[in-house]
Amino acid sequence: MNIARAREIAGWMIDSELEWLADQAGKHSRIVEVGCWVGRSTRALADNTIGLVYAVDTFEGSEEHQEFLKDKPTGWILRRFLENMHGCSNVHPIINTSVGATQNFLLYRQQFDMIFLDARHDYYSVKQDIIEWMPLLLPGGLLCGHDLGPNWPEVEVAVRELIPDFEMGPNQIWHKTF
């Protein structure tokens, strides 16, 4: 398991979460991550899978990032992401909204054996992400996400409503194999 490069990238995931993602990536080869920021978790996935990682994000930041981004040039997040993915030929950035990406993947009948959701954190968005991405999960695939904890109560409400028998990974990661 290799999280050395991921640890060098700014982000909110702690080591135990990166290690869990790295371990899961080692068991999966068609991975999609929804919500990448500048690539900390993406790098943990990419450095540990023999397959592909599709990194879906608008690369414009969520509402909670706008104050931080106000003095950054347009395209700052995407440039940082691409710099952080240097040497990862198995990462394919998808510049799109979560729902927009699902429509494209459905159109081309693409499915994944691991889907990691970490985009917007409001109830409606989390619920919509789960509903939209479920049809893209291969049988036996892993659906997981981040930020199920006290700082993001709406994430927990949406996950419990749609996946009542989910399990917790380390810290704020939730998951279920279908």
CA terminus-to-terminus distance, the chain? 24
Name the β-bridge partners of 177: 142
Range of the domain at 10: 4-120+132-146+164-177
Residue 45 lies in a domain: yes
Label residue 54 left, alpha or beta by phi (over 0 means left) and psi (-120 to 50 means alpha). beta
3-state secondary structure 114-174: EEEECCCCCHHHHHHHHHHHHHHEEEEEEEEECCCCCCCHHHHHHHHHHCCCCEECCCCCE
Residue 127 lies in a domain: no
Q: Which residue's structure tokens are 């790098």?
A: 43
Number of domains in the chain: 1
pLDDT band per the 50, 70, 90 thresholds, residue 65: confident
pLDDT at 147 > cutoff 90: yes
> What's residue 66's pLDDT?
85
Nearest-angstrom CA–CA distance, 55 and 116: 10
Residue 96 lies in a domain: yes
Q: What is the CATH number of the domain that holds 90?
A: 3.40.50.150
- What DSSP character marks residue 73? P
Q: What are the residues whose beta carbons fall under 8 Å from the beta carbon of 155, sequence distance 6 or more?
A: 121, 123, 126, 145, 147, 148, 149
Summarize pLDDT for 119-145 with one digit per residue, the tens: 999 999 999 999 999 999 999 999 999
Residue 152 lies in a domain: no
- What DSSP character marks residue 63? G
pLDDT at 104 > cutoff 90: yes
Residue 101 lies in a domain: yes
Q: Mean pLDDT over residues 13-19, rounded?
A: 98
pLDDT band per the 50, 70, 90 thresholds, residue 14: very high
Residue 125 lies in a domain: no
Residue 156 lies in a domain: no
Residue 172 lies in a domain: yes
